Structure 1
Amino acid sequence: MRKTNVKKKVLSTLLLGSAILCTSCGPLNNKPAAENLNLALAGMDGSDGVSFEGASSLLLNGKPAPEASLYYGGSVAEHNKVSLYTVLPDRGTPRTAARGEKVTLKSSPAGTPAYYSKLEKNNGEWTLLSEKGSAQGDNPLPALNPIRQLDELENLEKKVTEEAGTARGTRVLRIELSEAESKRQLAAELQHQMDAIRPEGSTINLKTADKGLESLQLVWEQKNNELQQKLKQVSVKTVYYLKVDKKRNLPKSLTSSRKVSRPGVQTVSGSTVEEIYLTQVNFYGYR
């Protein structure tokens, strides 16, 4: 009887010790998803450079808008300098849309303009050093800077979870922004685009202004007011998927899906007006 009690105590002690060891080791081997995100972002910050290729696409009520498709490549040098340029869609650029989205990024139509941009990060802000192939405010590449997108993820209001069933040696983090954050992000991007095309002399004196400039300014103000009104009516959902190399804690790919809908506005067929903007970029050649 005494031996049985001793065995039970030994067994209980072993089980308790095992539980304590698992508890202490668990966070090291199974870090919370948000912590894994921070490690991946730190890994990118610590690399000297990396190359990337990506694609973007727009769906309007489920139908692709070919004129909005864009394939691009680029590289990072000296931690904070990014070069981006458009590429042809036959260079192995990723075609699959956001994880879980049964959508394919369509090829750019023939005659798509060639763009080039070079940016540098100073004091936390990205500034445009040079660009080619576009009029002011027309170049889409600066907004597709994947390093800026990764930088932003750290401070956005979000929910981070880890996807199950990923390929061996990798993890996929699902990052969903709150609706308020999604709207703030969209509004900031659209306002930046509007500011880029604002006529020179935005603080013009209407009594002394050139008539042509005055007319352009009035048109810009009208369109900007319309934009602000539309932003109040939309519903926005933004989800990112970050694939990470477990061993090196480095991003392998970043995919995003932004769904914008206007519940009170319907098409002729009666369906809700909906836009889905998709981007995907693969990282390789870390230095």
Structure 2
Amino acid sequence: MGLTARVRTRDGWAVSHAVVTVTDMAGAQVLRAEADAEGAVRDPGPLAPGAYTVIVTAVGYAPAAATAIVTASGRAEVGTVTLARQGGAELPPPGPWTVDPAHSTVGAVARHLGISSVHGRFTDFAATIEIAPDDVTKSRVEAVIRAASIDTGNTVRDTHLRSADFLDVETHPEITYRSTGLTAAGPDRWTVHGELGLHGVVRPVDLDLSYLGTGPDPWGGTRAAFRATAELHREDFAMHYNQVVQAGIAAIGTTLKVELEVQAVQGETLPLG
């Protein structure tokens, strides 16, 4: 076999769309091969003995170069070539991921009386993530939240939040989010651009996303963890109710801070457990 190599990300995931180009010392191309689904490159060759430059490229990654010495056997074993994602940020391996509600939190924080915060969360939601293989900016996120599942730890307050003054869950039972794009914002941060459907209004909302890493879980699957935040204004979604107390202070703030703690499982289904 003329050339063998493995192409991986920094986290050890296969880069299945990588292209390996081999040139001689004069710069002439002598071989071009593509990695398979496992990130492996195998070209039968053989190559003439001598020194060669091996260049590995993949959309969304910075190119890498290595030197290969071909012996009289005509073989060159390049070994593992590690590609760094452009912008310095790694992501989970491509394909579908399913958010695990049992190990994720969809929360929101609002100011109360101008001096403290009220924390709430939605307990019933589902979401999927699709990591694009070639162009990460084409990755997708979709989520559906049952508005009536709001829980702030106070029954009277929760009932009011479900009413027509706020979420109006009878008329608008679902809160939806669909991404429209993704851009790098730092070494381990991304901005998710999307549209939020809330209280019958659809508006663009960006999520400030931090990727916390990927690893195995106790049920034989692979999980990725994320943290995301966003800031919403109630008036943007036609929720104008408020009560003003002394000195003009609003009982409930008009700004909501959304806080997401997400675990996603690789694949289209969740494991038992």
TM-score by shorter chain over 0.5: no
Larger strand share, 1 or 2: 2
- The normalised TM-score by structure 2 is 0.37
- The normalised TM-score by structure 1 is 0.36
Larger helix share, 1 or 2: 1
